[in-house]
Amino acid sequence: MRRTEAPSDRTPIPSVARKLTLARAIVDWERLWPSLWPALMMLAIFFGIALLGLPSAIGSLTGGWGQLALLVGFAAAFLWIVRRGVVAWQPANDADAARRLEHDSALAHRPVSSQTDRPAGADRDPVAQALWTAHRQRQEASLSGLRVAAPEPVMARLDRFGTRSLAGLVLIAGVAVAAPDPLGRMAEAFHVTLTPLVETPAPTFDVWINPPAYTGRPPMMLARAGQPVAGVAGKPNGHDPRSSANTPKRLAVPTGSVLLAKVNGGTGAPLLAFATRGGETVKPFEKVAEQAHQIETPITEGTALSIRQNRTELAAWTITVLPDLQPTVAFAEPPQATERAALMIHYTASDDYGLTAVEARIRLLNPEGKPTADDPLVLSLALPGNGLEAADAKDYHDLTPHPWAGQTVDISLLARDEAGQEGVSEPVRMILPERQFQHPVARAIIEQRKRLLTEPHEKTDIAEVLMSLAARPQHYYDDIVTFLSLRVAAGRLVISESSIELIANVQSLLWDTALRIEDGEMSLAARELRELERRLMEMLAQDNPDQQALEQLMEELKQAIDKYLKAMMEQMQQQLQLGDPQQAQDIDPRQMIERKDLMDMVDRARELMKSGAKDAARQLLSQLREMMENLRAGRPQPMSPEQQAAQEMMRQLQELAEQQQRLMDDTYKAHQEGFQREGRDQQMGQMPGQPREHRPGQRSGQQGQAGDGTPQGADRSGRQSRPDQGQITPEALAQMQERLRRQLGDFMRKLGEGLGQIPQPFGEAERAMKDAADALGRAQPGDAVGPQGDAVERLQDGAQALAEAMRQNQQANGGAAPDPNAQGLNHDDQRRDPLRDRPNSQGYANDNGGIEIPGESDLLRARRIFDELRRRSGDRQRPETELNYIERLLKRF
């Protein structure tokens, strides 16, 4: 019968138990590791190739099937290796742990294993029990030096060829390559997209960049159908990487541009990569259809961009993002007052992509020269055109009614661009223009107006002063309007409670009353004229102005000019009545401005607006505005005999130019009638070159001359007349042209006798007239229009040269050169020259802000083009593409 051992005898001592537990774990590890290391090595290899992008690359080449097979193969192999290791592994028991502990401690006689031994029959034999106890004590004494050694290396025995090093290298390489986005690489390895095993079309892509609209730059096409666009450098896929043409060049891209790219074909979702100084930003394309992707993203920074698909770079470009610089603005000259006490601001401004607004900000200064707490006065300055990159312009503002008139202020300019950026100039200090009234009643009214601003609590006393002024109508020409205005202003001050609105209304009424007494209707007419000019300039600055409203404003502008000139003439007549009436005789017309010249400028601006040249119309109106500002009433100066002779020569030249202009219009009309007649002949079956039969009642000599031998279209005085009825022939036009050429020759001969020299433009005009006459002699009126236009322009140039030569001749002879600042209804003689279509170097319009105002010949040429387009649009035999193109051009007209 087997004995039962006491539990106390089978339990090892605590220190030995701990060592046994550690030894058992080491034995388990040494048995488990040979089963685990193949699975771990396989995991390392898989993670390495996944981070390297091998699975997704295989999937892109095989439509996802190769990637799926790779994943399944790795998973099956891993599970098989793990299963084999688990089945082969046997956990260690107490005996295995004891033997490992005894082996590591180099103990003889197995003292650890004998801790659980018990001799048979020792409990009945005291001697045996004593011997056993002594034996146990000796064994426990030998256990004091127990130790557990580290696990024994077994890899050298298990992996004799060092394949574990290869797995480690693959893993390290994968981690290094996928460092920017390791999780993304792993996700791609497990993302399988299965496609049919058919040939996938090669990817094609279109890439372009749209700069912001305010830059005015066209879109930049970088690639079309996978190939770089001519003139745009890039690095397309498939080029030799060693080729110099494959090196991406730098593209200048405005900040805020939008990149649009489309990729068709290929496998996988394309990626757009931006390289910046801080790293790389990757954005995925959006899928819009099967095998079609696109992306739209703004470009605000970056040094390079590339398109990738399946780890393959399709194209790359090196870019430079151009910043949008702030606009600059400065005074071209210090602000100053005009003759009518208006504030003239002449400024220059520029921006890299175009200006949208220029303002003047005025700050009131205290006696110490420091800005006050009052809000600045903001004046909007007119630009000579829309979206100009550089502007040089003048603007006028009447600030005499403002309470700050006569005060010291700081004026600074502010320019703004489309992006909202602002540039500010250095401030300029000046005293705002103040109106100096001469009439005593007007001065008294202005004095009470100032008191109303500084002493509003004394409004009752101010009302009494106004009533006393109104009670003496003989002092202000018995004007009933002035009387009523003074009574109304006084009544408002007495009856109404004091308020800011009341003070402002009464001040405005008193100002208008003082102006009426001082200038009559002229100042009020000038204010109305300025307001209309401002409204016109603002409306022309709009993208799509209302044409009907523009026409209405142009009519109102002509009426305002008439009203202003009438008021100025009345004032000048009053001043002449106070002086010597003889001074009104022999006035130099070059010091006078004619109403016709002003109305012609308004009509010219209207034609420019109709033709779509809004910027040129704005510039012409700006010139008109400056002319009106420079006008002033005064006593005109008598004209010397030399000036009278020079004026007569200028008059003859002007008349000659007008006759040439009318002849050019008649020639163009004859050319158009020839086109229409040719079309009718073709419809009636008549060949274009066949002679036409005479109509009933037409004499054989009617085509060339009248009964007295005078060419048709010319009167007996030689002045050309435009025939309103009948048909004018090329022969008659040729005779008219030859007559004008002879008149110019006579004029040049007299000019040479008087000045000793003939300006070169007159010789060029004479040759142009000869070419036109030759073309008309060949019955080719279409070929004569161009030379006739050149003749008109050369006559204009000759008028400018003649005026300059006369001025230099008078100065050389000690005479007085024409003074553009002489009193009268004046302005610079170059300004009022009706022969000039373009601004001159010494006139008021020496800078058009980069805008060329079309001349009369340019407008005529545009009209010819328009008529020709209309004629071609009616020819349905032309190709469809040409007809569509002509239709688009006509829409622009």
Q: 106-110, 244-248, 376-380, 408-412: lowest mean pLDDT where?
A: 244-248
Neighbours of 446 (CB within 10 A): 21
Q: Which pLDDT value is given to residue 70?
A: 85
Rounded to an integer, what distance in angstroms lies between the CA atom of residue 341 and that of residue 527?
A: 12
Rounded to an integer, what distance in angstroms lies between the CA atom of residue 118 and that of residue 181?
A: 66
Closest to 669 in 3D by CA, of 497, 784, 507 = 784
CA distances from 356 to 210, 353, 449 (A): 21, 10, 38
DSSP 351-397: -SS-EEEEEEEEEEB-TTS-B-SSPPEEEEEPPSSTT-SEEEEEEEE
pLDDT tens readout for residues 317-338: 888 888 899 999 999 999 999 8
| SS3 category, 575 | helix
Amino acid letter for position 319: I
Query: What average pLDDT does the chain have?
Result: 75
CA distances from 805 to 233, 485, 802 (A): 56, 54, 5
DSSP 733-790: HHHHHHHHHHHHHHHHHHHHHHHS---HHHHHHHHHHHHHHHHHHTT-HHHHHHHHHH
CA distances from 222 to 228, 238, 244, 321 (A): 6, 16, 18, 15
Percent of the chain's residues with pLDDT above 90: 14
- For helices 760-777 and 730-755, the axis angle rounded to 10 degrees is 160
**Residues contacting residue 376 through CB under 8 Å, at least 6 positions apart:** 361, 362, 363
Rounded to an integer, what distance in angstroms lies between the CA atom of residue 576 and that of residue 151?
A: 128
Mean pLDDT of 243-264: 74
Centroid of chain to Cα 440: 54
Q: 228 with 234: CB under 8 angstroms?
A: yes
**Residues contacting residue 400 through CB under 8 Å, at least 6 positions apart:** 341, 342, 433, 434, 435
pLDDT tens readout for residues 262-321: 998 877 788 998 887 777 888 899 988 888 899 999 988 877 888 988 778 888 888 888
Q: Which pLDDT value is given to residue 711?
A: 41
3-state secondary structure 193-217: CCCCCCCCCCCEEEEEEECCHHHCC
Rounded to an integer, what distance in angstroms lies between the CA atom of residue 726 and that of residue 556?
A: 38
Rounded to an integer, what distance in angstroms lies between the CA atom of residue 448 and that of residue 114?
A: 130
Q: Which pLDDT value is given to residue 488?
A: 93
**Residues contacting residue 77 through CB under 8 Å, at least 6 positions apart:** 42
Burial 8-29 (b: 16+ CB within 10 A, else e): eeeebeeebeebbeebbebbbe
Q: Which pLDDT value is given to residue 708?
A: 39
Rounded to 5°, the CA angle 594-595-596 comes to 90
**Residues contacting residue 92 through CB under 8 Å, at least 6 positions apart:** 24, 27, 28, 31, 100
Q: 275 with 302: CB under 8 angstroms?
A: yes
Q: 293 with 270: CB under 8 angstroms?
A: yes
Closest to 844 in 3D by CA, of 624, 607, 692, 572 = 624
pLDDT tens readout for residues 130-188: 767 666 666 665 566 566 666 666 666 666 667 777 878 888 888 888 877 788 778 88
Neighbours of 748 (CB within 10 A): 17
Q: Which pLDDT value is given to residue 414?
A: 96
DSSP 590-610: GG---HHHHHHHHHHHHHHHH
Q: 105-114, 408-417, 548-557, 663-672: lowest mean pLDDT where?
A: 105-114
**Residues contacting residue 348 through CB under 8 Å, at least 6 positions apart:** 329, 330, 331, 332, 390, 391, 392
Confidence tier at 4 by pLDDT (50, 70, 90)? very low
Determine the length of the chain. Answer: 893
The bridge status of strand 428-431 relative to strand 408-417 is antiparallel
Residue 747 above 50 pLDDT? yes
Centroid of chain to Cα 523: 40
574 or 781: which leads in pLDDT = 781
Mean pLDDT of 480-503: 88
Phi and psi angles of residue 695, each rounded to the nearest 5 degrees, phi first: -75, 155
Tokens describing residue 462:
């101010």
Tokens describing residue 156:
């050298």
pLDDT tens readout for residues 220-229: 888 887 676 6
Q: Which pLDDT value is given to residue 818?
A: 43
The strand order across the sheet containing 227-228 reads: 227-228, 220-224, 204-210, 257-264, 292-299, 286-289
H or E element at residue 240: none
Nearest 10 degrees: CA dihedral of 529, 535, 540, 545? -130
Amino acid letter for position 861: R
Q: Which pLDDT value is given to residue 579?
A: 53
Closest to 388 in 3D by CA, of 81, 658, 614 = 614
Q: 848 with 390: CB under 8 angstroms?
A: no
CA distances from 768 to 200, 793, 796 (A): 69, 10, 13
Residue 86 above 80 pLDDT? no
Closest to 265 in 3D by CA, of 292, 238, 237, 227 = 292
Q: 825 with 592: CB under 8 angstroms?
A: yes
Rounded to 5°, the CA angle 20-25-31 comes to 125
Amino acid letter for position 73: G
- Kindly state the greatest CA–CA separation across the chain: 179
Rounded to an integer, what distance in angstroms lies between the CA atom of residue 554 and that of residue 560?
A: 10
Mean pLDDT of 728-749: 88
Confidence tier at 391 by pLDDT (50, 70, 90)? very high
Most confident listed range (118-127, 298-307, 538-547, 841-850):
298-307
Tokens describing residue 544:
């799509």
Amino acid letter for position 728: I
106 or 246: which leads in pLDDT = 106
